[in-house]
Chain A
Amino acid sequence: MPNQNGSVYGLTILSPIINDERATPSHDLQIRNYLATVPTGEGSPFALAPGTHLARLVVMDDVIYVGSPSIEEHLHSKYLVFESNCDGDLDSYLLGLATAVPQHLDAIWSHCVGYPGAANPQAFAAYMKACQIETTFYFAAVNDKSVPETLRALQTQRAVSDFIARHQGMNAALLQAEFAQFATRLKSEPLPASGSMGPLRGLKTGGRNE
Chain B
Amino acid sequence: MSKLNETDIQGFVLRGYNLPFARYLFLHFEDSARARALVGRLLPVITTGQRWDHGKPQSTANIAFTHRGLAAFDLPEATLLSFPVEFLQGMKDRAAILGDTGINAPEHWDKLWLDNHVHAWLGINGQSPEAVDARCSQIQALMQETGGAMQLAWQDAAAIMDDGKPTSREHFGYTDGFGNPDYLGVERSTQPGQGKLMPDGTWAPLATGELLLGYADEAGELPVAPVPHILACNGTFMVYRKLHQNLATFRAYLEERSAQYGGGMEKLAAKFIGRWRDGTPVELSPDWPDPAIVQDPNRNTNFTYGADPQGTRCPIGAHVRRVHPRDAFGFNGRLIDRRRITRRGLPYGRPVPEGEPASDAEDRGIVFMALNASLSRQFEFVQQQWIEYGNDAHQGNDKDMLIGNHRGHGKFVVQGDLSATNPPFLCTHLPNFVELRGGDYFFLPSITALGMIAMGLVDPR
Q: How far is the CA of A161 from the CA of B428 in the complex (A)?
A: 10
A150 to chain B, nearest CB (A): 15
Asked whether A168 lies within 8 Å of B260 as measured between CB atoms, the reply is: yes
Q: How far is the CA of A168 from the CA of B416 in the complex (A)?
A: 13
How many A residues are at the interface, by size bracket? under 10
Q: How far is the CA of A165 from the CA of B412 in the complex (A)?
A: 10
Q: How far is the CA of A4 from the CA of B428 in the complex (A)?
A: 42
Q: How far is the CA of A169 from the CA of B420 in the complex (A)?
A: 12
Closest to B398 in A: A161
B123 to chain A, nearest CB (A): 44
Asked whether A161 lies within 8 Å of B260 as measured between CB atoms, the reply is: no
In B69-107, which residues have CB < 8 Å from any A CB? Answer: none
Q: How far is the CA of A165 from the CA of B260 in the complex (A)?
A: 12
Residues of A within 8 A of B428 (CB): 165
Q: Could you mark each residue 147-176 of chain A with 1 if its beta carbon is under 8 Å from any beta carbon of chain B, else 0?
A: 000000000000001001100110000000
Interface membership of B455, Cβ < 8 A: no
Residues of A within 8 A of B260 (CB): 168-169
Closest to B427 in A: A165
A-B contact count (CB 8 A): 10
Interface class of chain A by DSSP: helix
Closest to A158 in B: B396
Q: How far is the CA of A169 from the CA of B426 in the complex (A)?
A: 11
Closest to B429 in A: A165
Residues of B within 8 A of A165 (CB): 411, 426, 428
In A123-159, which residues have CB < 8 Å from any B CB? Answer: none
Residues of B within 8 A of A161 (CB): 411, 426
Closest to B413 in A: A161
Interface membership of B178, Cβ < 8 A: no
Q: Could you mark each residue 294-337 of chain B with 1 if its beta carbon is under 8 Å from any beta carbon of chain A, else 0?
A: 00000000000000000000000000000000000000000000
Closest to A201 in B: B409
Q: How far is the CA of A164 from the CA of B426 in the complex (A)?
A: 8
Q: How far is the CA of A102 from the CA of B87 in the complex (A)?
A: 50
Q: Could you mark each residue 181-212 of chain B with 1 if its beta carbon is under 8 Å from any beta carbon of chain A, else 0?
A: 00000000000000000000000000000000
Residues of A within 8 A of B411 (CB): 161, 165
Q: How far is the CA of A165 from the CA of B425 in the complex (A)?
A: 8
Residues of A within 8 A of B426 (CB): 161, 164-165, 168
Q: How far is the CA of A161 from the CA of B411 in the complex (A)?
A: 10
In B395-448, which residues have CB < 8 Å from any A CB? Answer: 411, 425-426, 428
B156 to chain A, nearest CB (A): 41
Residues of B within 8 A of A168 (CB): 260, 425-426
Closest to B424 in A: A164
A sample of 10 inter-chain contacts (CB < 8 A) reads A161-B411, A161-B426, A164-B426, A165-B411, A165-B426, A165-B428, A168-B260, A168-B425, A168-B426, A169-B260
Given A165-B411, A165-B426, A168-B260, output 7 extra A-B contacts at Cβ < 8 Å. A161-B411, A161-B426, A164-B426, A165-B428, A168-B425, A168-B426, A169-B260
In the A-B complex, list the 7 residue pairs whose CB atoms are closest, starting with the nearest. Answer: A165-B426, A165-B428, A169-B260, A164-B426, A168-B260, A168-B426, A168-B425
